[in-house]
Structure 1
Protein backbone atom coordinates (compact mmCIF):
# COMPACT_ATOMS: atom_id res chain seq x y z
CA UNK A 1 0.00 0.00 0.00
CA UNK A 2 3.06 2.19 -0.16
CA UNK A 3 2.35 5.73 -1.23
CA UNK A 4 -1.44 5.47 -0.88
CA UNK A 5 -3.58 7.68 1.29
CA UNK A 6 -1.14 10.35 2.35
CA UNK A 7 -2.43 13.64 3.64
CA UNK A 8 -1.82 15.74 0.55
CA UNK A 9 -4.26 18.59 0.04
CA UNK A 10 -5.82 16.95 -3.01
CA UNK A 11 -6.40 13.55 -1.38
CA UNK A 12 -10.04 12.47 -0.98
CA UNK A 13 -11.24 12.72 2.64
CA UNK A 14 -11.57 8.93 2.88
CA UNK A 15 -7.95 8.40 1.86
CA UNK A 16 -6.78 11.04 4.31
CA UNK A 17 -8.67 9.30 7.13
CA UNK A 18 -7.30 5.90 6.13
CA UNK A 19 -3.75 7.23 6.04
CA UNK A 20 -4.01 8.86 9.46
CA UNK A 21 -5.33 5.67 11.02
CA UNK A 22 -2.75 3.51 9.28
CA UNK A 23 0.14 5.74 10.31
CA UNK A 24 -0.96 5.38 13.94
CA UNK A 25 -1.18 1.57 13.81
CA UNK A 26 -5.00 1.55 13.66
CA UNK A 27 -5.10 -0.89 10.76
CA UNK A 28 -8.40 -2.52 11.68
CA UNK A 29 -10.17 0.84 11.89
CA UNK A 30 -8.66 1.94 8.59
CA UNK A 31 -9.74 -1.30 6.93
CA UNK A 32 -13.26 -0.83 8.29
CA UNK A 33 -13.51 2.56 6.57
CA UNK A 34 -12.79 0.84 3.27
CA UNK A 35 -15.21 -2.02 3.93
CA UNK A 36 -18.21 -0.75 1.92
CA UNK A 37 -16.12 0.08 -1.15
CA UNK A 38 -13.98 -3.04 -0.84
CA UNK A 39 -16.99 -5.27 -1.30
CA UNK A 40 -17.35 -4.25 -4.96
CA UNK A 41 -14.28 -2.24 -5.99
CA UNK A 42 -11.01 -4.03 -6.79
CA UNK A 43 -8.75 -1.10 -5.87
CA UNK A 44 -10.40 -0.60 -2.48
CA UNK A 45 -10.29 -4.35 -1.81
CA UNK A 46 -6.59 -4.38 -2.61
CA UNK A 47 -5.91 -1.42 -0.34
CA UNK A 48 -7.86 -3.07 2.47
CA UNK A 49 -5.77 -6.22 2.00
CA UNK A 50 -2.58 -4.16 2.24
CA UNK A 51 -3.69 -2.63 5.52
CA UNK A 52 -4.49 -5.98 7.09
CA UNK A 53 -1.25 -7.52 5.81
CA UNK A 54 0.72 -4.68 7.36
CA UNK A 55 -1.05 -5.39 10.64
CA UNK A 56 0.13 -9.01 10.38
CA UNK A 57 3.70 -7.90 9.77
CA UNK A 58 3.70 -5.57 12.77
CA UNK A 59 1.71 -7.68 15.24
CA UNK A 60 1.99 -11.29 14.09
CA UNK A 61 -1.80 -11.58 14.30
CA UNK A 62 -4.80 -11.24 12.00
CA UNK A 63 -3.72 -13.72 9.33
CA UNK A 64 -7.24 -15.01 8.66
CA UNK A 65 -8.63 -11.50 8.19
CA UNK A 66 -5.85 -10.64 5.75
CA UNK A 67 -6.36 -13.87 3.81
CA UNK A 68 -10.12 -13.28 3.55
CA UNK A 69 -9.53 -9.74 2.32
CA UNK A 70 -7.03 -11.00 -0.23
CA UNK A 71 -9.47 -13.57 -1.62
CA UNK A 72 -12.04 -10.80 -2.08
CA UNK A 73 -9.48 -8.67 -3.94
CA UNK A 74 -8.53 -11.60 -6.16
CA UNK A 75 -12.17 -12.31 -6.97
CA UNK A 76 -12.80 -8.67 -7.95
CA UNK A 77 -9.73 -8.39 -10.20
CA UNK A 78 -10.82 -8.05 -13.82
CA UNK A 79 -7.71 -7.21 -15.86
CA UNK A 80 -3.98 -8.00 -15.82
CA UNK A 81 -3.15 -4.89 -13.81
CA UNK A 82 -5.58 -5.79 -11.03
CA UNK A 83 -4.65 -9.47 -11.13
CA UNK A 84 -0.96 -8.57 -10.99
CA UNK A 85 -1.50 -6.27 -8.02
CA UNK A 86 -3.46 -8.99 -6.21
CA UNK A 87 -0.68 -11.51 -6.91
CA UNK A 88 1.81 -9.02 -5.47
CA UNK A 89 -0.26 -8.82 -2.29
CA UNK A 90 -0.49 -12.61 -2.06
CA UNK A 91 3.26 -12.83 -2.35
CA UNK A 92 3.74 -10.24 0.37
CA UNK A 93 1.30 -11.91 2.76
CA UNK A 94 3.05 -15.25 2.21
CA UNK A 95 6.40 -13.56 2.76
CA UNK A 96 5.21 -12.03 6.06
CA UNK A 97 3.92 -15.40 7.22
CA UNK A 98 7.26 -17.02 6.45
CA UNK A 99 9.35 -14.22 7.96
CA UNK A 100 7.48 -14.24 11.27
CA UNK A 101 7.27 -18.03 11.47
CA UNK A 102 3.49 -18.18 11.36
CA UNK A 103 3.67 -20.69 8.50
CA UNK A 104 6.33 -21.45 5.92
CA UNK A 105 4.92 -20.08 2.67
CA UNK A 106 8.20 -19.20 0.96
CA UNK A 107 7.38 -21.12 -2.23
CA UNK A 108 3.96 -19.49 -2.44
CA UNK A 109 5.55 -16.06 -2.01
CA UNK A 110 8.03 -16.62 -4.83
CA UNK A 111 5.42 -18.04 -7.19
CA UNK A 112 2.96 -15.22 -6.51
CA UNK A 113 5.53 -12.48 -7.07
CA UNK A 114 6.71 -14.18 -10.25
CA UNK A 115 3.11 -14.22 -11.47
CA UNK A 116 2.80 -10.54 -10.62
CA UNK A 117 5.97 -9.83 -12.63
CA UNK A 118 4.48 -11.62 -15.62
CA UNK A 119 1.26 -9.61 -15.40
CA UNK A 120 2.68 -6.16 -14.65
CA UNK A 121 4.75 -4.53 -17.41
CA UNK A 122 7.90 -2.57 -16.45
CA UNK A 123 5.98 0.71 -16.79
CA UNK A 124 3.07 -0.34 -14.55
CA UNK A 125 2.43 1.85 -11.48
CA UNK A 126 2.76 -1.17 -9.19
CA UNK A 127 6.08 -2.35 -10.56
CA UNK A 128 8.36 -0.48 -8.09
CA UNK A 129 6.49 -2.00 -5.14
CA UNK A 130 6.77 -5.43 -6.75
CA UNK A 131 10.52 -4.97 -7.24
CA UNK A 132 10.87 -3.98 -3.60
CA UNK A 133 9.02 -7.05 -2.39
CA UNK A 134 11.11 -9.31 -4.60
CA UNK A 135 14.10 -7.73 -2.93
CA UNK A 136 12.71 -8.63 0.48
CA UNK A 137 12.47 -12.27 -0.48
CA UNK A 138 15.98 -12.25 -1.94
CA UNK A 139 17.40 -10.66 1.22
CA UNK A 140 15.45 -12.31 4.01
CA UNK A 141 14.44 -15.70 2.64
CA UNK A 142 16.85 -16.59 -0.17
CA UNK A 143 19.82 -14.87 1.55
CA UNK A 144 20.96 -13.40 -1.76
CA UNK A 145 22.14 -9.84 -1.02
CA UNK A 146 23.26 -9.16 -4.59
CA UNK A 147 19.84 -10.01 -6.01
CA UNK A 148 18.21 -8.02 -3.22
CA UNK A 149 20.32 -4.96 -3.95
CA UNK A 150 19.46 -5.08 -7.65
CA UNK A 151 15.74 -5.35 -6.88
CA UNK A 152 15.88 -2.54 -4.31
CA UNK A 153 17.69 -0.28 -6.76
CA UNK A 154 15.04 -0.88 -9.40
CA UNK A 155 12.36 -0.15 -6.83
CA UNK A 156 14.21 2.97 -5.68
CA UNK A 157 14.50 4.31 -9.23
CA UNK A 158 10.83 3.56 -9.90
CA UNK A 159 9.69 5.18 -6.66
CA UNK A 160 11.78 8.26 -7.43
CA UNK A 161 10.28 8.54 -10.91
CA UNK A 162 6.73 8.21 -9.56
CA UNK A 163 7.26 10.42 -6.50
CA UNK A 164 6.36 7.59 -4.11
CA UNK A 165 7.95 8.98 -0.97
CA UNK A 166 6.79 6.22 1.35
CA UNK A 167 8.25 3.50 -0.83
CA UNK A 168 11.47 5.52 -1.00
CA UNK A 169 11.66 5.39 2.79
CA UNK A 170 11.61 1.61 2.55
CA UNK A 171 14.12 1.33 -0.30
CA UNK A 172 16.52 3.71 1.46
CA UNK A 173 16.26 1.64 4.63
CA UNK A 174 16.82 -1.73 3.00
CA UNK A 175 19.65 -0.56 0.78
CA UNK A 176 21.21 0.84 3.93
CA UNK A 177 20.79 -2.49 5.71
CA UNK A 178 22.79 -4.18 2.97
CA UNK A 179 25.47 -1.49 3.22
CA UNK A 180 25.64 -2.02 7.00
CA UNK A 181 26.00 -5.75 6.48
CA UNK A 182 29.04 -5.05 4.30
CA UNK A 183 30.59 -2.62 6.78
CA UNK A 184 29.85 0.51 4.73
CA UNK A 185 28.88 2.65 7.73
CA UNK A 186 28.74 6.04 6.01
CA UNK A 187 26.47 4.72 3.26
CA UNK A 188 24.32 2.92 5.81
CA UNK A 189 23.93 6.00 8.01
CA UNK A 190 22.95 8.10 5.01
CA UNK A 191 20.31 5.64 3.88
CA UNK A 192 18.85 5.16 7.35
CA UNK A 193 18.79 8.92 7.92
CA UNK A 194 16.95 9.49 4.63
CA UNK A 195 14.41 6.81 5.53
CA UNK A 196 13.79 8.41 8.92
CA UNK A 197 13.52 11.90 7.44
CA UNK A 198 10.88 10.83 4.93
CA UNK A 199 8.83 8.98 7.53
CA UNK A 200 8.87 11.96 9.85
CA UNK A 201 7.88 14.32 7.02
CA UNK A 202 5.02 12.05 5.96
CA UNK A 203 3.84 11.52 9.52
CA UNK A 204 4.27 7.76 9.20
CA UNK A 205 4.48 7.34 12.96
CA UNK A 206 4.24 3.56 13.06
CA UNK A 207 7.36 3.30 10.91
CA UNK A 208 9.43 5.71 12.97
CA UNK A 209 10.66 3.33 15.69
CA UNK A 210 12.15 0.82 13.20
CA UNK A 211 13.86 3.70 11.37
CA UNK A 212 15.34 5.05 14.60
CA UNK A 213 16.64 1.65 15.67
CA UNK A 214 18.21 1.07 12.26
CA UNK A 215 19.96 4.44 12.41
CA UNK A 216 21.18 3.64 15.92
CA UNK A 217 22.71 0.38 14.65
CA UNK A 218 24.85 2.38 12.21
CA UNK A 219 25.82 5.08 14.69
CA UNK A 220 29.45 4.73 15.86
CA UNK A 221 29.04 7.07 18.85
CA UNK A 222 27.54 5.13 21.78
CA UNK A 223 25.85 8.21 23.27
CA UNK A 224 24.21 9.14 19.97
CA UNK A 225 23.04 5.55 19.46
CA UNK A 226 21.60 5.50 22.98
CA UNK A 227 19.64 8.71 22.31
CA UNK A 228 18.17 7.23 19.13
CA UNK A 229 17.12 4.05 20.94
CA UNK A 230 15.60 6.10 23.75
CA UNK A 231 13.57 8.06 21.22
CA UNK A 232 12.42 4.82 19.59
CA UNK A 233 11.32 3.55 23.02
CA UNK A 234 8.84 6.41 23.28
CA UNK A 235 6.94 5.10 20.27
CA UNK A 236 5.84 2.03 22.22
CA UNK A 237 3.00 4.27 23.46
CA UNK A 238 1.47 4.03 19.99
CA UNK A 239 0.91 0.33 20.46
CA UNK A 240 2.19 -0.19 16.94
CA UNK A 241 5.80 -1.13 17.55
CA UNK A 242 6.54 -4.33 15.63
CA UNK A 243 6.62 -7.46 17.79
CA UNK A 244 10.05 -8.32 16.38
CA UNK A 245 11.40 -4.92 17.43
CA UNK A 246 9.93 -4.70 20.91
CA UNK A 247 12.70 -6.73 22.66
CA UNK A 248 15.25 -4.19 21.43
CA UNK A 249 13.43 -1.23 22.96
CA UNK A 250 14.64 -0.35 26.42
CA UNK A 251 13.72 2.56 28.68
CA UNK A 252 16.23 5.39 28.47
CA UNK A 253 18.78 5.60 31.24
CA UNK A 254 18.43 8.53 33.64
CA UNK A 255 21.44 10.18 31.97
CA UNK A 256 19.86 9.85 28.51
CA UNK A 257 16.51 11.08 29.77
CA UNK A 258 18.15 14.18 31.25
CA UNK A 259 20.02 14.83 27.99
CA UNK A 260 16.75 14.81 26.06
Structure 2
Protein backbone atom coordinates (compact mmCIF):
# COMPACT_ATOMS: atom_id res chain seq x y z
CA UNK A 1 0.00 0.00 0.00
CA UNK A 2 2.90 2.37 0.59
CA UNK A 3 3.99 2.92 -2.97
CA UNK A 4 1.01 2.46 -5.23
CA UNK A 5 1.33 5.71 -7.15
CA UNK A 6 2.17 4.12 -10.48
CA UNK A 7 -0.59 1.57 -10.85
CA UNK A 8 -3.27 4.07 -11.75
CA UNK A 9 -1.03 5.93 -14.16
CA UNK A 10 -0.31 3.19 -16.65
CA UNK A 11 -3.13 0.71 -16.12
CA UNK A 12 -5.82 2.54 -18.06
CA UNK A 13 -7.75 1.94 -21.24
CA UNK A 14 -5.78 3.22 -24.18
CA UNK A 15 -2.52 1.88 -22.80
CA UNK A 16 -2.77 -1.67 -24.08
CA UNK A 17 -5.69 -2.94 -22.04
CA UNK A 18 -8.43 -3.04 -24.69
CA UNK A 19 -8.72 -4.73 -28.08
CA UNK A 20 -8.64 -1.38 -29.92
CA UNK A 21 -5.27 -0.40 -28.46
CA UNK A 22 -1.96 -0.19 -30.28
CA UNK A 23 -0.31 -3.65 -30.47
CA UNK A 24 2.90 -2.22 -29.00
CA UNK A 25 0.99 -0.90 -25.98
CA UNK A 26 -0.75 -4.25 -25.61
CA UNK A 27 2.62 -6.03 -25.58
CA UNK A 28 3.98 -3.53 -23.04
CA UNK A 29 0.89 -3.98 -20.86
CA UNK A 30 1.16 -7.78 -20.95
CA UNK A 31 4.83 -7.74 -20.02
CA UNK A 32 4.24 -5.16 -17.29
CA UNK A 33 1.36 -7.15 -15.83
CA UNK A 34 3.71 -10.14 -15.55
CA UNK A 35 6.37 -8.07 -13.75
CA UNK A 36 8.64 -8.08 -16.82
CA UNK A 37 9.39 -4.37 -16.55
CA UNK A 38 12.81 -4.47 -18.23
CA UNK A 39 11.40 -6.40 -21.20
CA UNK A 40 8.50 -3.96 -21.50
CA UNK A 41 10.87 -1.00 -21.30
CA UNK A 42 13.09 -2.55 -23.98
CA UNK A 43 10.15 -2.42 -26.41
CA UNK A 44 9.92 1.32 -25.86
CA UNK A 45 13.13 2.70 -27.20
CA UNK A 46 12.77 6.39 -26.41
CA UNK A 47 11.91 7.80 -29.83
CA UNK A 48 10.00 10.74 -28.39
CA UNK A 49 8.96 12.31 -25.11
CA UNK A 50 5.94 10.04 -24.56
CA UNK A 51 7.85 6.78 -25.13
CA UNK A 52 10.80 8.02 -23.05
CA UNK A 53 8.48 8.89 -20.17
CA UNK A 54 6.60 5.59 -20.37
CA UNK A 55 9.91 3.72 -20.39
CA UNK A 56 11.11 5.65 -17.33
CA UNK A 57 7.79 5.02 -15.58
CA UNK A 58 8.12 1.27 -16.13
CA UNK A 59 11.64 1.21 -14.73
CA UNK A 60 10.66 3.35 -11.72
CA UNK A 61 7.80 0.92 -11.07
CA UNK A 62 10.28 -1.96 -11.20
CA UNK A 63 12.35 -0.24 -8.49
CA UNK A 64 9.27 0.11 -6.35
CA UNK A 65 8.34 -3.56 -6.53
CA UNK A 66 11.78 -5.18 -6.66
CA UNK A 67 14.05 -2.64 -4.94
CA UNK A 68 16.44 -3.15 -7.86
CA UNK A 69 17.34 -1.41 -11.11
CA UNK A 70 17.85 2.04 -9.63
CA UNK A 71 20.58 3.05 -12.12
CA UNK A 72 18.53 1.99 -15.14
CA UNK A 73 15.58 4.00 -13.83
CA UNK A 74 17.84 7.03 -13.30
CA UNK A 75 19.19 6.72 -16.85
CA UNK A 76 15.69 6.41 -18.29
CA UNK A 77 14.56 9.44 -16.30
CA UNK A 78 17.46 11.53 -17.58
CA UNK A 79 16.49 10.53 -21.12
CA UNK A 80 12.84 11.43 -20.49
CA UNK A 81 13.82 14.77 -18.96
CA UNK A 82 16.04 15.55 -21.96
CA UNK A 83 13.31 14.59 -24.44
CA UNK A 84 10.60 16.66 -22.73
CA UNK A 85 9.68 19.86 -24.57
CA UNK A 86 6.31 21.02 -23.22
CA UNK A 87 5.42 21.95 -19.65
CA UNK A 88 3.22 18.85 -19.38
CA UNK A 89 6.09 16.61 -20.50
CA UNK A 90 8.57 18.28 -18.14
CA UNK A 91 6.02 18.08 -15.34
CA UNK A 92 5.39 14.39 -15.94
CA UNK A 93 9.14 13.68 -15.94
CA UNK A 94 9.52 15.64 -12.69
CA UNK A 95 6.64 13.64 -11.21
CA UNK A 96 8.48 10.40 -12.08
CA UNK A 97 11.72 11.79 -10.64
CA UNK A 98 9.90 12.58 -7.40
CA UNK A 99 8.36 9.13 -7.31
CA UNK A 100 11.74 7.44 -7.78
CA UNK A 101 13.24 9.58 -5.00
CA UNK A 102 10.25 8.67 -2.79
CA UNK A 103 10.79 4.96 -3.42
CA UNK A 104 14.53 5.21 -2.70
CA UNK A 105 13.76 6.94 0.59
CA UNK A 106 10.92 4.60 1.53
CA UNK A 107 13.10 1.52 1.03
CA UNK A 108 16.11 3.17 2.68
CA UNK A 109 18.27 2.84 -0.43
CA UNK A 110 19.23 6.48 0.07
CA UNK A 111 17.51 9.39 1.79
CA UNK A 112 16.14 11.42 -1.10
CA UNK A 113 13.09 12.89 0.65
CA UNK A 114 14.12 16.47 -0.13
CA UNK A 115 14.64 15.57 -3.78
CA UNK A 116 11.22 13.88 -3.88
CA UNK A 117 9.48 16.94 -2.46
CA UNK A 118 11.40 19.31 -4.75
CA UNK A 119 10.67 17.25 -7.87
CA UNK A 120 6.97 16.99 -7.08
CA UNK A 121 6.91 20.72 -6.35
CA UNK A 122 8.49 21.33 -9.76
CA UNK A 123 5.87 19.05 -11.32
CA UNK A 124 3.10 21.00 -9.58
CA UNK A 125 4.42 24.21 -11.10
CA UNK A 126 4.42 22.67 -14.59
CA UNK A 127 1.24 20.56 -14.67
CA UNK A 128 -1.93 22.63 -14.91
CA UNK A 129 -4.44 22.17 -12.05
CA UNK A 130 -7.11 20.59 -14.28
CA UNK A 131 -4.77 18.40 -16.34
CA UNK A 132 -5.08 14.61 -16.25
CA UNK A 133 -1.56 14.19 -14.83
CA UNK A 134 -2.35 16.42 -11.85
CA UNK A 135 -4.39 13.73 -10.08
CA UNK A 136 -1.46 11.30 -10.11
CA UNK A 137 0.85 14.07 -8.92
CA UNK A 138 -1.48 14.85 -6.02
CA UNK A 139 -1.70 11.16 -5.14
CA UNK A 140 2.09 10.91 -5.01
CA UNK A 141 2.28 14.05 -2.89
CA UNK A 142 -0.12 12.31 -0.54
CA UNK A 143 2.17 9.27 -0.38
CA UNK A 144 5.09 11.48 0.63
CA UNK A 145 3.02 13.30 3.25
CA UNK A 146 1.68 10.03 4.67
CA UNK A 147 4.78 7.85 4.58
CA UNK A 148 7.79 10.16 4.74
CA UNK A 149 6.73 13.29 6.61
CA UNK A 150 4.04 11.52 8.67
CA UNK A 151 1.57 14.34 8.12
CA UNK A 152 -1.91 12.81 7.89
CA UNK A 153 -3.62 16.17 7.38
CA UNK A 154 -1.45 17.02 4.38
CA UNK A 155 -1.84 13.49 3.05
CA UNK A 156 -5.62 13.67 3.36
CA UNK A 157 -5.74 16.99 1.49
CA UNK A 158 -3.53 15.61 -1.30
CA UNK A 159 -5.55 12.39 -1.58
CA UNK A 160 -8.78 14.41 -1.76
CA UNK A 161 -7.37 16.53 -4.59
CA UNK A 162 -6.23 13.34 -6.33
CA UNK A 163 -9.67 11.82 -5.80
CA UNK A 164 -11.39 14.85 -7.33
CA UNK A 165 -9.01 14.77 -10.30
CA UNK A 166 -9.46 11.03 -10.79
CA UNK A 167 -13.24 11.52 -10.71
CA UNK A 168 -13.05 14.36 -13.25
CA UNK A 169 -10.88 12.27 -15.60
CA UNK A 170 -12.76 8.97 -15.05
CA UNK A 171 -9.73 7.09 -13.68
CA UNK A 172 -11.19 4.17 -11.67
CA UNK A 173 -7.81 2.73 -10.70
CA UNK A 174 -6.60 5.98 -9.20
CA UNK A 175 -9.98 6.35 -7.49
CA UNK A 176 -9.42 2.94 -5.93
CA UNK A 177 -6.06 4.10 -4.59
CA UNK A 178 -7.42 7.37 -3.21
CA UNK A 179 -10.33 5.62 -1.49
CA UNK A 180 -7.98 3.05 0.03
CA UNK A 181 -5.55 5.65 1.36
CA UNK A 182 -8.29 7.96 2.63
CA UNK A 183 -9.88 4.98 4.40
CA UNK A 184 -6.51 3.99 5.88
CA UNK A 185 -6.03 7.47 7.30
CA UNK A 186 -9.55 7.45 8.75
CA UNK A 187 -8.99 4.03 10.29
CA UNK A 188 -5.76 5.11 11.97
CA UNK A 189 -7.61 8.10 13.42
CA UNK A 190 -10.36 5.87 14.79
CA UNK A 191 -13.09 6.89 12.34
TM-score by length of 2: 0.90
Structure 1 counterpart of 2:29: 19
**Displacement, 1:156?**
1.2
Q: In 2, Cα distance between the equivalents of 1:165 and 1:31?
A: 25
Tell me if structure 1 keeps the 8 A contact 2:16–2:23. Answer: no
Q: In 1, Cα distance between the equivalents of 2:95 and 2:183?
A: 24
Q: In 1, Cα distance between the equivalents of 2:75 and 2:182?
A: 32
Structure 2 counterpart of 1:7: 17
Question: Which segments of 5 or more consecutive residues in structure 1 lack a partner in the other structure?
Answer: 185-260
Count, aligned residues? 181
Tell me if structure 1 keeps the 8 A contact 2:28–2:43. Answer: yes
Q: In 2, Cα distance between the equivalents of 1:136 and 1:143?
A: 10
Q: In 1, Cα distance between the equivalents of 2:170 and 2:141?
A: 20
Tell me if structure 1 keeps the 8 A contact 2:97–2:119. Answer: yes
Structure 2 counterpart of 1:31: 41
Question: Which segments of 5 or more consecutive residues in structure 2 lack a partner in the other structure?
Answer: 1-5
Write the deviation string for residues 2-49 of structure 1: whole angstroms up to 9, x where unpaired: 1442412322111112112212211111111112xx1x2101111111
Tell me if structure 1 keeps the 8 A contact 2:160–2:178. Answer: yes
* Superposed CA RMSD: 1.3
> Of residues 142, 148, 152 in structure 2, which corresponds to 1:135?
142
Matched, 1:61 2:71: no
Q: In 1, Cα distance between the equivalents of 2:187 and 2:27?
A: 36
TM-score by length of 1: 0.67
Structure 1 counterpart of 2:53: 46
**Displacement, 1:65?**
0.4
Tell me if structure 1 keeps the 8 A contact 2:16–2:24. Answer: no
Select the structure with the greater relative contact order (CA < 8 A; seq sep ≥ 6): 2
Q: In 1, Cα distance between the equivalents of 2:172 and 2:29?
A: 14
Larger Rg: 1
